[in-house]
Amino acid sequence: MFPRVKPALARAWRDLQTVQFGVTPAHAVVLGPVDTATGAFIDRIDGTRGMELLRAEATRMGLPDGRADALVRRLARAGLLDDASAGGPRAQSLRRRPETLERLGPDLGSLSLVHREPGGDLRGVAARRAIRVQVRGSGRVGAVIAAVLAGAGVGRVEVLDGGRVEAADVAPGGLGPASVGRMRAEAAAGAVRAAAPGPAPRAGAEEGPEPGLALVVVAPRDGLHAWAPDPDTAADWVASGTPHLYAGVLEGTGLVGPLVLPGTTACAGCMERERVERDAAWPRMLVQWRSSHRRLGSASCDLGLSTAVAGLAAAHALAFLDGQLPASTGARWEAALPTLHWESAPVRAHPDCPCGAAPDPAERLRPAGRASGRGAGADPPGAP
Ligand SMILES: [Zn+2]
């Protein structure tokens, strides 16, 4: 073990006996009481020394026997400790690609905050590398999402779209001006390759067999298909249990979500049923909207908003792929120009939808038992 205090959290003394790790409340941890000598010793826990050397260093600095081990245990309990040698065989194979790790440095730091155990950052990046995601749509939103996912280390990002790239599809971070006129799927695959921090994994001895789809991101060029997703298109994902996330821009409104976990959270069929119940004219208007969009195409998409939607959708997708449930799970986040207040509304599972996400009436009486995310872990005072 080569212990290292997580470098992602800035350290500051709150007073003579208390150290705060981190600035922002979501991930900050307060450690105390800590005497000055122990505080100075924390600086030595930087991943360059094994436990033997750390114990010798502690003795040299006049700390009592056992203090080095106790401090390392205490830091680990508080989620503040990394281990420069941990993470398993996949992490070891990543360490052989230093240029990839250098590119992903900030992502590793971010993962070290979410995965509290030592080596969680490298394990997280290794897990992303083994993941396969499909992005449907390669416009201002879809191509940027695909590039961001690839750039963040997701190993296999496929983009599905038809036709040829038009000038209006070009967006910073997505398809470049040189791709105008090329096949959309091909140009998007090029953007994904260019954004990736290293060579793509290939199915085989080192990388294992081709994995199944972990997530489909539905980011159609015509935002209407994200605003009012088609239950028929989603039927296969619901049937196969494939999680999918909607994102798009329609008429000056940006939309992220819902993230659909089939059988657990509301799907496109649930949404459509609820809309019909609230507004009897919905089906009649939807038919007209769909046919007029086919004729006219989607004419309004603010580049700032589309970039924000793509970034937020990619971050939600990554949070999910990293094993958490982001705020778009069973909810839609929307922001409309010009004020851009992001607001969320829950998307409820409909009892008549065959997806089965709505609980049985009998089960609705039972208390819900969903686990919540982790909170910032404060160390109890008085620990060694
Ligand atoms: Zn449903």
Q: What is the pLDDT of residues 206-257, one digit of tens each?
A: 667 788 999 999 999 999 999 999 999 999 999 999 999 999 999 999 999 9
Distance 262 CA to ligand 1 centre (A): 8
Sole residue written with tokens 């939807």: 286
Query: What are the tens digits of pLDDT across the range 300-357?
Result: 899 999 999 999 999 999 999 999 999 999 999 999 999 999 999 999 999 999 999 9
Distance 349 CA to ligand 1 centre (A): 6
**pLDDT band (50, 70, 90) for residue 362:** low
Distance 333 CA to ligand 1 centre (A): 19
Distance 273 CA to ligand 1 centre (A): 9
Q: Which residues contact 59 (CB under 8 A, 6 or more apart)?
A: 65
Distance 234 CA to ligand 1 centre (A): 10
Q: What is the pTM of this model?
A: 0.90
DSSP 8-state secondary structure symbol assigned to residue 342: -
Distance 285 CA to ligand 1 centre (A): 21
Query: What are the tens digits of pLDDT across the range 53-89?
Result: 999 999 999 999 999 999 999 999 999 999 878 777 8
- pLDDT of the residue at 361: 67
Distance 200 CA to ligand 1 centre (A): 35
- Asked, as a colleague might, if the bond just before 118 is cis with ω within 30 of 0, I would say no
Distance 277 CA to ligand 1 centre (A): 14
Distance 269 CA to ligand 1 centre (A): 5
Tokens of 284: 């009649």
* 364 three-class SS: helix
Distance 235 CA to ligand 1 centre (A): 9
Is pLDDT at 381 greater than 80 in this prediction? no
